[in-house]
Amino acid sequence: MADDAEHAAPKPSKVQERNLSLGVLSAKLKKNYTLFANLSEEEMIAFLRMCDRQNYKPGDLIFEEGEREGCWYIVLSGRITIYRKGKVLGGVGEGQCFGEVGLLKKETPRSASARAASETILLAVPHDIFTRKMPALSYKVLEYIANQLADKLLRADSQLESLAPANGEKKPAPEPPDKAEG
């Protein structure tokens, strides 16, 4: 028995555990997210070190409508419910992202609230990722977010088109708000 203890592999240090965790996370992200597929290992590790891994239980609030937080979220596992004024707008799951505007415009109030619908692990990407000295990485993140927002706009356009009258009649345009009210 003593020989077994002498020959047992040493426990990894905290630094080794962190690097292993970064390596495992890096591999998962590269496999499941197009943003990360083209990042070098150096860029990937630098990106992960700038982010915060957050764990949520079902029902936990991630952010509330009106908050001014400059953060973008990547769902590593779990599910998020997005809602406004108590009405569910949709959900976001593993492999998806949300909160892009918070990353792009730090002081813009959140347009909706987000709450964990299940046990959830998020990667929170801070606004100051763009102020770090990695312009190539910043460009890749911005390009990815631009594509995500473009996809969301196309889906919204499609939904709006489906609400238009089928017979070609035009719905009257809404009255512009009275300038005196604002």
Domain that holds residue 36: 12-161
pLDDT value at position 181?
Answer: 41
Task: With respect to residue 106, please indicate whether it lies within any of the assigned structural domains.
Answer: yes
Into how many domains does the chain fold? 1
Task: With respect to residue 170, please indicate whether it lies within any of the assigned structural domains.
Answer: no
Sheet holding 120-126, edge to edge: 52-56, 120-126, 71-77, 97-98
Task: With respect to residue 45, please indicate whether it lies within any of the assigned structural domains.
Answer: yes
CA distance 113 to 61: 8
Task: With respect to residue 5, please indicate whether it lies within any of the assigned structural domains.
Answer: no
What is the CATH number for 84?
2.60.120.10
pLDDT value at position 63?
Answer: 93
Task: With respect to residue 99, please indicate whether it lies within any of the assigned structural domains.
Answer: yes
Task: With respect to residue 6, please indicate whether it lies within any of the assigned structural domains.
Answer: no
Task: With respect to residue 125, please indicate whether it lies within any of the assigned structural domains.
Answer: yes
pLDDT value at position 26?
Answer: 80
Task: With respect to residue 178, please indicate whether it lies within any of the assigned structural domains.
Answer: no
pLDDT value at position 149?
Answer: 83
Question: Which residues of the chain have a pLDDT value below 70?
Answer: 1-20, 130-134, 166-182
* Helical pair 41-50 and 135-163, crossing angle rounded to 10 deg: 70
CA distance 173 to 182: 20
What is this structure's pTM?
0.67
CA distance 55 to 28: 17
Structure tokens at 100: 């892009």
CB 115 within 8 A of CB 83: yes
pLDDT value at position 16?
Answer: 31
